[in-house]
Structure 1
């Protein structure tokens, strides 16, 4: 085979490989560390807000340790600022196994303002749906805050939790709640990713959008119960 023909074959092979990767889409698995021997989480769904804002930059996704899922969450909120309000600055997921053993937490970008408002804990089971209250753009002359509150469901609707239970001290307008985004049966929330607008000279809004991930619980439930 001459040199020109060899190059043509090589280019064609590379093009085919690239097309296959694009067609397959993103992997449904996530590696928790760079160690190839570490077990990977199987993501069954990504939960999105239908009213999130496109300001800021997406942080790194963070996941519960292998074999665990979010059973509680906590919101970091700036209630009042003398200069520029930002509302929600972070959301933390607390993780446990199906047997109820705590394994740590998952946290994406954390803003510098506000206070943690206290854990909201499922009485039983894990978090399986989420939504958020988001204030739309207030225009050039007014203060933007974007995400103001987060709501979660436990066990496919058995219980509803709200991150900020008493918002009467907030001085900014209340936004609109997004639609509920649900995990499929046999899965629960296991990870989170935050979009965050950094502080700068002028108006900034901290958390502007968020995504949560669902992971399969089926085989783990069987392992915990000895099936």
Structure 2
């Protein structure tokens, strides 16, 4: 059973999400939060598999709440699925940057929402990697230059850098395995080590890091 914490400051939307999830086989709502701070507190207490996170909330917004939840969560960390009104929204980029596993529009059909919860619960990004890459490309050059510098990549081996570069370019694990002539299991091992060394928690965050570090340059094709 996949447990879900539903976070939204609008009562009717929250109630609708709860009813939808509760009616779905294999899913259960373990808690509800009406603001970001309550989400942080409940995530620590209830340890849900997935947090369905509204992004625009007063006081502690969805980005700050996501960052706090993932920074303090015990393993296995919950997967955060962000809800937003606009698909090209700088808040979405911020959520991916702090470790959210993906995002959905609030107008998403119910069946897609339920599928998305299962996808991120399984450890994957919500959208195909190429879609996420297009989002990162749209905002990578618009981030305030005063932002904190990107994480150093020096802890990574040359092969781990290869894997991160290919993840950032939008390749799936099977595509990466074919490119590097290794097994999919080996790719997963490298990716897990990358996340551990760099202190990141999702594939989407790895894509963001690949762009911010300069490993991948927006709108420049991958060599070879």
Look at both structures and tell me which one has the larger radius of gyration over its CA atoms.
Answer: 1
Report the TM-score, using the length of structure 2 for normalisation: 0.22
Name the structure with the higher helix share: 2
Q: Which has the bigger relative contact order, CA under 8 A and spacing at least 6? A: 1
Name the structure with the higher strand share: 1
Report the TM-score, using the length of structure 1 for normalisation: 0.22
